[in-house]
Amino acid sequence: MLLASPPQEHRMSLSHWKSLFVVPLLLCFACSPEVVPVEAETPDAEASQSSALIVGPAGSLLTARYQHTATLLPDGKVLVVGGGTPTETASTELYDPVTTTSIYGPPLSAARRSHTATPLQDGSVLIVAGIGPGGILSSVERYQPSTNTWTAAAPLPRVSYGHSATLLTDGRVLVVGGVGGVGGGTAAHVYTPATNTWVATGSLPSAMGFQAAVRLSDGRVLLSGGGATTSLAQLWTPSTGTWTVVAPMNAARSDHTLHLLSSGKVLAVGSVQMSEQYDPATHLWTNTSNTAVTHFSAPSVQRPNGSIVLAGGSYNNTTVELYSPATGTWSTVGSLTQARKSHPTVALPSGRVLFLGGTASSTSGSMVPVASIEAFDLNSTCTPTTCAAQGKNCGTISNGCGGTLSCGTCGSGQTCNNNVCGTAAPVSCTHDVCTSGTALSRSCSACANTVCNRDPFCCNTAWDSLCVSAANTHCVVAQPGCVVQ
């Protein structure tokens, strides 16, 4: 049974969780060769991007969070796990892209952020290590969608965060590098789901953390980067369990993404504007093309047709970009409504791409967890939801395709609370939404409901300065600026 309410969360000082946030930013390129053309791959069916392009709201998480994971499940829902709120949380959510709504799932046994989530061949999801309230973790948990339950798995033989976890062709998982534990960034272990066991494999020749990893067409695993001065690339061979240092990338990268292309080559994206390709046959990297802006801490994702989407990545960057393997070029295809970074990105079978949560910047410059979800859609097949399907009969809601639905008004003697008409007497806010104080009721105003959907703290514990900032940011239509209600 799905949980009806989230576990109680507590905030910590923003300065503290900001100090834990490990995001090495790359400010310069290594010397790189001249850009050369890329051979054409499977032609895109998206030569025209105009009329059907949508970048817009797609609902909201129930808990604002960052450094969480989001994994597409076999039934089409998205499993959102853990993260910082800013304190580490054990809460999970199941987001439905069709209805653009989220419900709480069963909680983890251990709160965590900066963990990895790997979908296994049986449809379950493996969560490995991360950072908990008491420090770095080794615990591992496994989610089974068919029963909506978590079970404890054998712990990783060391504590770790900032590692990579890659599903192998035989169903095992390779967990490599990261921060913490004996061996630190050189440790490598393989997990076998069938036996729930870990086995050490060859140690990395050079330590890595916050690197990118991808499985090649032949089953080998490529790792690259991991720091502002790290362009290192290393290759693991499953048959021998050994590592080989290959030619470094042309630019140092961290918090970037590696994508396997249909040609068998690998594209490195993010952290710097230039993207580059690795050729497993020659072990060489070749620069391809630049993104319009630099995307830090913004995981890119590959759509079913092979194109790649990248968005946000800094507090002043809302740019959404699309990479075409056929031309080897990037194009700007829209803008996020909410600048964000450290947001999981999920590609749906329909070609839609979701950007879930992350962090934004408050008016004072502090990091603020984000609950909003946005979607990129280059298809004309997005089917808007309806007020009736959502059980709503008043006010306005998102239609799930970037638009807004008007669900009507309530009859005499009824009030609209959370888009549902009722006979309960309206609840008055105990103080203005632009004044800090005690927690507010969601139903006391549309603005309070909006803010608390993004940050439940504001309606559960206290209405602090972050809630006031959120009211100014998210209630600009219903309540422009700070005004008395």
**pLDDT tens track for 40-84:** 333 343 433 333 457 888 999 999 999 999 999 999 999 999 999
Per the structure block, which two tokens stand in for 465? 């300065």
State residue 458's pLDDT score.
82
* Percentage of residues of the chain with pLDDT beyond 70: 79
Q: What angle do CA 192, 197, 203 make, to 5 degrees?
A: 80
Does 417 score more than 80 pLDDT? no
- Average confidence (pLDDT) over 399-403: 57
State residue 442's pLDDT score.
75
- Average confidence (pLDDT) over 202-223: 95
User: 95 forms bridges with which residues in the sheet?
Assistant: 78, 102
User: 274 forms bridges with which residues in the sheet?
Assistant: 290
State residue 418's pLDDT score.
66
388 CB-side CA count, 13 A: 0
State residue 39's pLDDT score.
40
State residue 100's pLDDT score.
92
- Average confidence (pLDDT) over 389-409: 73
The pLDDT tens digits of the residues spanning 142-153 come to: 999 999 999 999
State residue 16's pLDDT score.
37
State residue 416's pLDDT score.
81
State residue 281's pLDDT score.
95
Helices (H) and strands (E) in the chain, counts: 4, 34
- Average confidence (pLDDT) over 195-211: 94
CA distance linking residue 328 with residue 342, whole number of Å: 26
**Which of 7-11, 48-52, 163-167, 437-441 has the highest mean predicted lDDT (pLDDT)?**
163-167
* Percentage of residues of the chain with pLDDT beyond 90: 56
Instruction: Specify the pairing of strand 242-246 against strand 233-237.
Output: antiparallel
Contact 373, 65 (CB under 8 A): no
State residue 398's pLDDT score.
61
User: 200 forms bridges with which residues in the sheet?
Assistant: 189
Per the structure block, which two tokens stand in for 58? 């797609």
Select the more confidently predicted residue: 352 or 26: 352
CA distance linking residue 148 with residue 279, whole number of Å: 41
The pLDDT tens digits of the residues spanning 285-344 come to: 999 999 999 998 889 999 999 999 999 988 888 999 999 998 899 988 888 988 999 999
DSSP annotation of 442 reads G
- Using DSSP's 3-state secondary structure scheme, residue 327 falls into coil
- Average confidence (pLDDT) over 443-469: 75
Instruction: Specify the pairing of strand 101-105 against strand 116-119.
Output: unpaired
Instruction: List Cα–Cα distances, 261 to 169, 201, 254, 279, 310, in angstroms.
Output: 17, 27, 20, 10, 16
Q: Is 377 exposed, middle or buried (0-12, 13-18, 19+ CB in 10 A)?
A: buried
DSSP annotation of 91 reads -
To 10 degrees, the CA torsion angle through 382, 125, 211, 200? Answer: -160
Select the more confidently predicted residue: 265 or 402: 265
- pTM score over 0.85: no
Q: Where are the domains of the chain?
A: 52-377, 399-474
350: alpha, beta or left? (left if phi > 0; alpha if psi -120 to 50): alpha
Flag the least confident range among 19-23, 330-334, 381-385, 404-408: 19-23
Does 470 score more than 50 pLDDT? yes
Mean pLDDT of the chain: 82
- Average confidence (pLDDT) over 456-472: 77
State residue 435's pLDDT score.
84
- What is the CATH architecture of 52-377? 6 Propeller (2.120)
State residue 427's pLDDT score.
67
374 CB-side CA count, 13 A: 22
H helices of 105-248, where? Answer: none
